[in-house]
Amino acid sequence: MLLNNIKMTKDYIYMLLLLCVPFVSSLMIVINIYNGDILGIKENKEYMLWYIPLLTYILFLLVTKKEQFKNIIPEFSIAFFGISLNIYWIYAWEYDKKTNFRHRTEYYDTQCLLCAMTYFVLLHKINTEKTKTIRTTIV
């Protein structure tokens, strides 16, 4: 899906690794192992940092390799939603302190959504590559 007619190129491996980082991070957030306390900044700012390398690499592919945007929409969606939803939660906690009793559940729902989206894109990417490899072997 990322690049057509490839077999385990550097770009494919980089993209898989860059997708695994936010997946593992959001999974650790959901199961309450990682609390965003590594860098000493606000949790959501730290969570957002896990998506920036993915977005940077996507922009690199678009600019230098002239990759078509339609080929990397799933990966871009992960980076975009990961960054924008974490920015949302930075301000949602501050502006709604009086009635934030629902926020904890909604917050974990958001992290779970990001985790599920990333997992789906990873599986789709791997299955697409397997299908390409099988088709080229048969032909």
pLDDT tens track for 87-137: 988 887 777 666 666 567 888 899 999 999 999 999 988 887 766 655 555
SS3 65: coil
C-beta neighbour count of 79 within 10 angstroms: 24
Q: Please tell me the predicted confidence (pLDDT) of residue 3.
A: 42
Beta carbons of 96 and 103 less than 8 angstroms apart = yes
DSSP, res 70? G
Beta carbons of 132 and 29 less than 8 angstroms apart = no
Distances (CA, A) of 47 to 7, 52, 78, 85, 90: 32, 10, 13, 10, 11
Q: Please tell me the predicted confidence (pLDDT) of residue 138.
A: 58
Is the pLDDT at 6 greater than 60? The verdict is no
Give me the mean pLDDT over the 64-78 stretch.
86
In the predicted model, what is the mean pLDDT of the chain?
A: 82
Helix, strand, coil percent content, the chain, rounded in steps of 5:
75, 0, 25
